[in-house]
């Protein structure tokens, strides 16, 4: 049909140039995304693909659930798809191409035969060159075509036509060439609009992550690190792409493992300029460890929950906001009580056993809260005063002298446990070496 | 059971036999959730279910940090399994790990989260409860709205975490969704616990909790003697250093 004819018949039609490159890219995206559900995908033509799912049905909860999942995944990529499901690949293709009915899901071979018989002949792409000839014969449907003498039909057409017909009806199983996923993963998504909000970037990144997960699934890989590059507009004020590293403490391969942490990271991100493309690269991959599917919670599952939680907290609060005790052997309480940022691998460490760094003291020898830095106390009539209350010494002194090598110099302290009139207890010390012996509050008994 | 239109007086006397969620205002409710013994008999007998409820918000108000609030929780924390950690969100001062190891809690994983503002603290608590990743969650979030506390309580009900919110005592007058609210006052040998809200009758009297025996703080002169005596009770293998660091 010519352009003018088309516009005369339907003036509301929008005419677009066909972008073959974009079509091929879309098909590639769909293949990568669908690799999450089955490794056996074959490309039928430039805009059709077939998945063999009989091995995936029970894992994904049956044909309906798998249908729904793959439909959602493809719609998430922004593709307009027409899905069909049938016992044979050619049959499913024919069902997808037909426009008679919206019911495109057939599970029984007998039903498929009945449904195919009523379809018009143009539903099988292999028959397209012979369509006019078939019309002339009075063959409108595939059922009428099958009633023709087989030998004569074969002589008048090419052998692949008969093969396609047989493959659709399940008489003949043609050999398939499965798609091989690429060796490395690096994908770039050029957006249609300039993105100004991180929510929009999250949407695009979600599409890339769907494809990444398909790729990881196909190779039985997992990864802990995703590198995003947010490309900005080129031109007079060109600026380098904004990098965004998403590091997880545990190797993952499912979209739900990456997306919450990514959302929190993007929430914190301040975009310097519009984003026109998002690129996702994965440089470290590892073979995955099998997860336990048992019913009752196990220690490994608790650890996984915890590492997920820590990833989320780290993504929103920052690396240095989650601390873990790493005590050091020493006498000065403030240098012993070392808390370090909980690193990427902290959840994998075994819980600390009785630590040789810390001597075991009496239960009430040390306070739970440690003031940092120690608070200088006033004195009244030779007794320390805190918040207007005189402190009565209960126990002590415990002498601690240490740290001549450190920045603070030699510390000579006599520690006491003191109490005020309202029975609140304090851990205070007197600095001995100073010219004037001063009192400091160092801890509270929580 | 209800053949006659008149209810059996025996049934009315024990409404919990009709449904475990029912109780009379004069009696303590049975806890719907598993509970964890507080380690103090006087307190256990006053709490519904006989201990801290797990998977429910517990509010503890205190005038100031450092009056024995963690020591009160210590027996309960010691009973928790070591598979999951204990998380402290926005504590008022740096916690001292040496004290925890003296208490025998060093086997528990301890995480200190310092979000920096109230919204992030509440978000961190919410996420920890949703992931069900810690055995106990101690949160200091003064100034949080009652709605935020209700949301935390609902999140806690989906988890099996011991959730304790510690707030200044000025908030004890404000409404709060927590089914169990306590107020702590320092006392000579420990703390006085006032139960401001519970599923049961009003608790009018304070519950004295002994956290440290008077012998632990005998007079200054005798302290060396008492130190020596108690230190001999420790097993030799675990002690590498002398008690007094010189």
Q: Are residues A417 and A276 in the same domain?
A: no
Indicate whether A342 pLDDT > 50: yes
For residue A206, being part of any structural domain is answered with yes
pLDDT of residue B237: 42
For residue A86, being part of any structural domain is answered with yes
Domains and CATH numbers, chain B: 34-226 (3.40.50.300)
pTM (2 d.p.): 0.77
Neighbours of B111 (CB within 10 A): 26
Q: Considering only A79-83, A286-290, B242-246, which range has the smallest mean pLDDT?
A: B242-246
Q: Are residues A160 and A190 in the same domain?
A: no
Which residues in A lie closer than 8 A to residue B91 (C-beta atoms)? 369
For residue A142, being part of any structural domain is answered with yes
Shortest CB distance from A423 goes to which of B82, B116, B187?
B187
More confident residue, A301 or A139: A139
Chain A nearest-CA distance from B191, in A, is: 9
Q: How far apart are CA A391 and CA A437, in angstroms?
A: 16
pLDDT of residue A94: 92
More confident residue, A88 or A382: A88
Q: Are residues A101 and A147 in the same domain?
A: yes
pLDDT of residue B15: 80
With bands split at pLDDT 50, 70 and 90, how would you rate the model's confidence at A297? low
Chain A nearest-CA distance from B97, in A, is: 6
Beta-carbon separation of A339 and B97 below 8 A:
yes
Q: Do you find a cis peptide bond into B99, omega within 30 degrees of 0?
A: no
Which residues in B lie closer than 8 A to residue A324 (C-beta atoms)? 109-112
Q: Are residues A378 and A237 in the same domain?
A: no
Neighbours of B140 (CB within 10 A): 18
Q: How far apart are CA B94 and CA A333, in angstroms?
A: 12
Query: Cβ(A134)–Cβ(A127) under 8 Å?
Result: yes
Indicate whether A203 pLDDT > 50: yes
Q: How many CA atoms are closer than 13 Å to the CA of B183, on its beta-carbon side?
A: 17
Q: Are residues A161 and A193 in the same domain?
A: no
Q: Are residues A164 and A244 in the same domain?
A: no
Domain end position, chosen among A169, A200, A232: A169
Q: Are residues A160 and A273 in the same domain?
A: no
- Per-residue model confidence as pLDDT tens digits over A325-341: 888 887 888 888 888 88
The answer for residues whose C-beta is within 8 angstroms of residue A237's C-beta and 6 or more apart is A273
Percent of chain A with pLDDT over 90: 21
Q: Are residues A305 and A203 in the same domain?
A: yes
Indicate whether A249 pLDDT > 70: yes
Chain A nearest-CA distance from B164, in A, is: 15
Which residues in A lie closer than 8 A to residue B188 (C-beta atoms)? 423
* Beta bridge mates, A417: A395, A427
Q: Are residues A211 and A262 in the same domain?
A: yes
Beta-carbon separation of A399 and B246 below 8 A:
yes
With bands split at pLDDT 50, 70 and 90, how would you rate the model's confidence at A34? very high
pLDDT of residue B240: 45
Q: Give, in order, the Cα–Cα distances in Å from A39 to each of A36, A55, A140, A184, A214.
A: 8, 10, 37, 17, 9
Query: Cβ(A399)–Cβ(A414) under 8 Å?
Result: yes
Beta-carbon separation of A359 and B234 below 8 A:
no
For residue A258, being part of any structural domain is answered with yes
Domain that holds residue A387: 369-444
Q: Which two tokens stand for residue A7?
A: 């516009």
Chain A nearest-CA distance from B190, in A, is: 8
Q: Are residues A408 and A280 in the same domain?
A: no
- Per-residue model confidence as pLDDT tens digits over A127-168: 888 889 988 988 889 999 889 998 998 898 888 888 999 999
Domain end position, chosen among A101, A134, A169: A169
Beta-carbon separation of A395 and B107 below 8 A:
no
More confident residue, B120 or A346: B120
Q: Considering only A98-102, A437-441, B26-30, which range has the smallest mean pLDDT?
A: B26-30
pLDDT of residue A388: 86
Minimum Cα–Cα distance from B236: chain A residue: A360
For residue A330, being part of any structural domain is answered with no
Q: Are residues A240 and A128 in the same domain?
A: no
Which residues in B lie closer than 8 A to residue A372 (C-beta atoms)? 93-94
For residue A91, being part of any structural domain is answered with yes
Q: What is the mean pLDDT of residues A103-132?
A: 90
Which residues in A lie closer than 8 A to residue B70 (C-beta atoms)? 368, 446
Residue whose entry in the numeric block shows the structure tokens 């559900």: A37
Q: For each successive 10 residues of chain B (246 residues), what is the average pLDDT?
A: 60 78 80 86 89 92 90 91 89 90 84 91 93 92 90 92 93 89 90 90 88 67 41 41 44
Beta-carbon separation of A368 and B100 below 8 A:
yes
Q: Are residues A132 and A85 in the same domain?
A: yes
For residue A378, being part of any structural domain is answered with yes
Domains contained in chain A, number: 3
Beta-carbon separation of B66 and A325 below 8 A:
no
pLDDT of residue A320: 87
Q: How far apart are CA A409 and CA A402, in angstroms?
A: 9
Q: How far apart are CA A149 and CA A162, in angstroms?
A: 12
For residue A3, being part of any structural domain is answered with no
Q: Considering only A178-192, A361-375, B7-21, which range has the smallest mean pLDDT?
A: B7-21
């Amino acid at each position: 049909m010519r352009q003018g004819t088309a516009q005369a018949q339907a003036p509301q039609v929008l005419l677009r140039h066909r972008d073959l490159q974009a079509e091929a890219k879309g098909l590639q995206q769909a293949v990568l995304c669908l690799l999450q559900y089955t490794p056996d995908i074959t490309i039928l033509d430039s805009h059709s693909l077939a998945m063999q799912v009989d091995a995936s049905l029970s894992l994904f909860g049956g044909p309906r659930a798998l249908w729904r999942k793959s439909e959602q995944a493809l719609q998430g990529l922004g593709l307009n798809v027409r899905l069909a499901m049938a016992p044979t690949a050619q049959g499913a293709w024919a069902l997808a191409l037909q426009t008679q009915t919206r019911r495109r899901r057939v599970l029984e071979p007998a039903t498929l035969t009945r449904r195919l018989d009523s379809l018009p002949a143009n539903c099988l792409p292999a028959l397209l060159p012979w369509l006019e000839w078939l019309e002339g014969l009075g063959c409108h449907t595939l059922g009428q075509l099958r009633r023709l003498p087989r030998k004569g039909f074969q002589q008048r057409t090419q052998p692949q036509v008969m093969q396609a017909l047989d493959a659709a009806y399940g008489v003949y199983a043609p050999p398939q060439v499965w798609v091989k996923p690429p060796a490395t993963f690096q994908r770039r998504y050029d957006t249609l609009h300039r993105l100004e909000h991180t929510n929009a970037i999250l949407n695009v990144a979600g599409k890339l992550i769907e494809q990444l997960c398909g790729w990881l699934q196909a190779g039985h890989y997992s990864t802990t690190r995703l590198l995003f590059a947010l490309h900005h507009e080129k031109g007079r004020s060109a600026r380098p792409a904004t990098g965004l590293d998403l590091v997880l403490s545990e190797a993952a391969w499912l979209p739900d493992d990456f997306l919450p942490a990514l959302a929190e990271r993007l929430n914190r991100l301040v975009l310097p300029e519009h984003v026109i493309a998002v690129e996702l690269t994965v440089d470290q991959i590892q073979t995955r460890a099998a997860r336990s599917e048992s019913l009752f919670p196990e220690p490994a599952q608790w650890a996984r929950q915890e590492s997920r939680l820590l990833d989320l907290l780290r993504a929103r609060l920052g690396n240095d906001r989650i601390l873990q005790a790493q005590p050091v052997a020493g006498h000065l309480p403030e240098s012993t009580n070392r808390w370090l940022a909980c690193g990427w691998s902290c959840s994998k460490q075994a819980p600390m056993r009785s630590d040789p760094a810390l001597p075991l003291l009496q239960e009430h020898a040390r306070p739970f809260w440690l003031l940092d830095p120690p608070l200088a106390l006033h004195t009244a009539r030779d007794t320390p005063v805190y918040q207007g209350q005189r402190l009565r010494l209960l126990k002590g002194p415990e002498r601690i002298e240490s740290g001549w090598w450190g920045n603070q110099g030699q510390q000579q302290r006599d520690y006491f446990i003191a109490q005020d009139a309202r029975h609140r207890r304090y851990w205070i010390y007197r600095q001995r070496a100073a010219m004037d012996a001063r009192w400091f509050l160092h801890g509270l008994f929580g | 059971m209800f053949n006659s239109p008149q209810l059996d007086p025996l049934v009315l006397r024990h409404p919990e036999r009709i449904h475990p969620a029912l109780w009379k205002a004069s009696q303590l409710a049975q806890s719907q959730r598993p509970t964890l013994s507080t380690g103090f008999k006087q307190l256990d007998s006053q709490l519904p279910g006989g201990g801290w409820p797990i998977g429910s918000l517990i509010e503890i108000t205190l005038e100031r940090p450092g009056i024995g609030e963690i020591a009160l929780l210590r027996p309960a924390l010691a009973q928790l399994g070591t598979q999951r950690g204990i998380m402290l969100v926005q504590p008022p001062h740096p916690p001292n790990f040496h004290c925890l190891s003296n208490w025998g809690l060093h086997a528990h994983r301890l995480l200190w989260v310092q979000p920096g503002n109230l919204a992030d603290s509440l978000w961190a608590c919410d996420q920890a409860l949703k992931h069900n990743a810690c055995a106990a969650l101690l949160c200091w979030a003064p100034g949080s709205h009652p709605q935020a506390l209700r949301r935390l309580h609902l999140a806690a009900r989906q988890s099996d975490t011991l959730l304790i919110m510690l707030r200044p005592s000025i908030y004890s007058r404000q409404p709060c969704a927590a089914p169990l609210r306590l107020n702590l006052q320092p006392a000579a040998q420990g703390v006085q616990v006032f139960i401001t809200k519970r599923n049961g009758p009003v608790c009018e009297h304070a519950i004295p909790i002994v956290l440290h025996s008077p012998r632990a703080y005998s007079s200054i002169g005798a302290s060396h003697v008492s130190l020596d005596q108690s230190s001999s009770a420790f097993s030799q293998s675990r002690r590498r250093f002398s008690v007094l660091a010189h």
